[in-house]
């Protein structure tokens, strides 16, 4: 299997609800599995991106939101074997028990630092045991487990992190490729090698239909109305916005269907795929064209996201995934790599500064903006209209442009991240 195929396959993961509450619940559930008896104390320390994204985020199988409730449910009913779908089996009784634990002051969360690098440290204490689970750099990457003071697991990632003392992350493998090479790959790779991408559409379409049918959604209904009351109309952009953002809304309010995530985010995975599915349905592209386009969308998303950090102060869903999706639209329309580069310039010059203020209903509006920006960027670029390299953060090459987009988030928006978290904490006081 080609390295890029393997990269996509390893990164695609189903996630129930917004990824961050799922990761918090997973970490707590894992720690709980090493303890016996009644829980006396739960504490979860996390980096600012994790803290922020889960702050008011909907939780699957619950009407509650936020990181404290996600931690409590992880202890009460989380199934660590299910990873990011660890809350799939939560019941109403579990919700009641979780609330009782919170009311007793058993569950606490804390901010460990302002950083885009994923970090979770979940501690569960009972009368007889204390277990601590550490996660770094991706939502389910357990790097250390300590039980009653004894180290049960310590990976090379954990040892390297301790040695680096917070140093910069190593360059990701995708950054050795150029946009031209990514394009050449998706055009020539054996289609059977990327057939697994079909799973993303199976998962995301179920989430989309849940968004349309569930009475809790609001944006989904209006987007359907804007599309003439049809799931698929002859208006490609309206269909794309409906399919993309009905799924995002369903996800962020915690409806009980997973999204297929990419770069650790369900919304990234939705934006990178669902507008392409709309284009496929409206224009009659072949399934092979759809899968090849999706591979390109994923890879461009990963290229930008691995520079910005997995969780940062800018909206990677709109910026990274939106840019990937835009390049894939150029491919579907028979465009060139040069047109893709110009599309990236248009995206970089328009929505790069969009903030991420957590996983919440606002993600739906950000998704709507991303679809609008992508479609206009593609339309202009394919007519030779684009923001030239001399302006703004655009680079001399598409690789430089994508790198610069990532730098705006990290280290560029660390101060913004701090301000967002401070606003959240001030809201709690009020």
* DSSP for residue 111: E
Does residue 13 contact residue 260 with C-beta atoms inside 8 Å?
Answer: yes
What pLDDT does residue 166 have?
A: 45
Tokens of 319: 């910026």
What pLDDT does residue 163 have?
A: 53
- Fold classified for 173-428: 2-methylcitrate dehydratase PrpD (1.10.4100)
- 348-351: long-range pairs with CB below 8 Å, 24+: 348/323, 348/387, 348/392, 348/393, 348/394, 348/401, 348/404, 348/405, 349/387, 349/391, 349/392, 349/393, 349/394, 350/377, 351/315, 351/318, 351/319, 351/322
Does residue 133 contact residue 140 with C-beta atoms inside 8 Å?
Answer: no
Give burial (CB, 10 Å; 0-12/13-18/19+) of 231: middle
CB atoms < 10 A from the CB of 171, how many? Answer: 10
- Which range of 108-122, 288-302, 403-417 scores highest in mean pLDDT? It is 288-302
Please, what is the average pLDDT of the chain? 94
Q: Which of 31-40, 149-158, 233-242, 308-317 has the lowest mean pLDDT?
A: 308-317
Buried b (16+ CB within 10 A) or exposed e, 106-115: bbebebeebb
What pLDDT does residue 167 have?
A: 47
Choose which CATH entry (3.30.1330, 3.10.450, 1.10.287, 1.10.10) describes domain 16-164: 3.30.1330
What pLDDT does residue 351 have?
A: 96
> How far is residue 135's CA from residue 113's CA, in Å, rounded to a whole number?
14
Tokens of 305: 């996201």
**Residue 414 pLDDT exceeds 60:** yes
What pLDDT does residue 57 have?
A: 86
The Cα-based distances of 105 to 43, 55, 156, 425 in angstroms read 11, 18, 35, 18
> How far is residue 223's CA from residue 79's CA, in Å, rounded to a whole number?
35
Where in the chain is CATH 1.10.4100? Answer: 173-428
> How far is residue 358's CA from residue 55's CA, in Å, rounded to a whole number?
7
What pLDDT does residue 60 have?
A: 85
Give pLDDT tens digits for 48-91: 989 998 888 889 889 898 999 999 999 999 999 999 899 999 99
> How far is residue 257's CA from residue 202's CA, in Å, rounded to a whole number?
11
**Residue 165 pLDDT exceeds 50:** no
**Residue 397 pLDDT exceeds 70:** yes
> How far is residue 283's CA from residue 271's CA, in Å, rounded to a whole number?
19
Buried b (16+ CB within 10 A) or exposed e, 189-207: beeebbeebeebbebbbeb
Place 96 in a pLDDT band, splitting at 50, 70 and 90. very high
What pLDDT does residue 17 have?
A: 74
Q: Is the pTM of this model over 0.85?
A: yes
Give pLDDT tens digits for 326-348: 999 999 999 999 999 999 999 99
What pLDDT does residue 309 have?
A: 80
Region 10-38 average pLDDT? 92
Q: Which residue has the higher pLDDT, 137 or 44?
A: 44
Where in the chain is CATH 3.30.1330? Answer: 16-164
The Cα-based distances of 231 to 213, 275, 351 in angstroms read 12, 12, 27
What pLDDT does residue 41 have?
A: 98
> How far is residue 404's CA from residue 395's CA, in Å, rounded to a whole number?
7
Region 236-257 average pLDDT? 95
Does residue 111 contact residue 48 with C-beta atoms inside 8 Å?
Answer: yes
SS3 state at 151: strand
> How far is residue 224's CA from residue 228's CA, in Å, rounded to a whole number?
7
CB atoms < 10 A from the CB of 126, how many? Answer: 16
Percent of the chain with pLDDT over 70: 98
> How far is residue 335's CA from residue 78's CA, in Å, rounded to a whole number?
47
Buried b (16+ CB within 10 A) or exposed e, 371-392: bbbbbbbbebbbeeebbebeee
Q: Which residue has the higher pLDDT, 181 or 424?
A: 181
């Amino acid at each position: 299997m080609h390295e890029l195929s393997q990269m996509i396959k390893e990164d695609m993961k189903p996630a129930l609800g917004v990824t961050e509450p799922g990761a918090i619940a997973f970490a707590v559930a894992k720690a709980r599995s090493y303890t016996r008896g009644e829980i006396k104390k739960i504490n979860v320390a996390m980096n600012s991106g994790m803290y922020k994204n889960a702050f008011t985020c909907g939780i699957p199988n619950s009407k509650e939101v936020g990181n404290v409730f996600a931690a409590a449910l992880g202890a009460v009913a989380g199934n660590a074997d299910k990873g990011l779908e660890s809350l799939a089996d939560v019941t109403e009784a579990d919700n009641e028990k979780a609330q009782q634990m919170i009311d007793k002051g058993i569950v606490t969360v804390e901010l460990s630092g302002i950083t885009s690098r994923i970090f979770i440290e979940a501690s569960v204490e009972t009368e007889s045991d204390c277990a601590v689970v550490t996660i770094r750099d991706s939502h389910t990457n357990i790097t250390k487990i300590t039980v009653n003071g004894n180290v049960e697991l310590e990976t090379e990632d954990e040892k390297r992190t301790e040695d680096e003392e917070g140093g910069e992350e190593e360059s990701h493998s995708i950054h050795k490729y150029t946009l031209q090479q990514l394009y050449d790959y998706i055009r020539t790779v054996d289609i059977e090698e990327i057939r697994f991408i079909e799973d993303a559409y199976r998962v995301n379409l179920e989430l989309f239909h849940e968004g349309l049918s569930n009475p809790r959604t609001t944006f989904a209904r209006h987007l359907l109305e804007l599309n003439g009351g049809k799931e698929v109309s002859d208006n490609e952009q309206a269909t794309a916005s409906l399919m993309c953002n009905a799924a995002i809304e369903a996800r962020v309010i915690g409806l009980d269907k997973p999204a297929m995530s990419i770069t650790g985010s369900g919304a990234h995975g939705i934006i990178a795929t669902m507008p392409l599915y709309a284009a496929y349905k409206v224009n009659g592209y072949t399934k092979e064209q759809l899968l090849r386009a999706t591979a390109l969308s994923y890879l461009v998303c990963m290229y930008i996201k691995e520079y910005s950090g997995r969780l940062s102060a800018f909206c990677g869903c709109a910026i990274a995934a939106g840019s990937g999706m835009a390049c894939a639209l150029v491919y579907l329309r028979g465009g060139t790599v040069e047109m893709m580069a110009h599309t990236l310039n248009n995206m970089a010059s328009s929505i790069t500064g969009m903030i991420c203020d957590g996983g919440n209903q606002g993600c739906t509006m950000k998704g709507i903006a991303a679809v609008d920006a992508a479609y206009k960027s593609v339309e202009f670029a394919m007519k030779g209209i684009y923001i030239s390299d001399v302006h703004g953060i655009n680079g001399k090459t598409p690789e430089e442009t994508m790198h610069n987009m990532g730098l705006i988030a990290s280290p560029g928006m660390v101060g913004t991240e701090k301000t967002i978290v401070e606003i959240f904490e001030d809201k709690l006081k009020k």
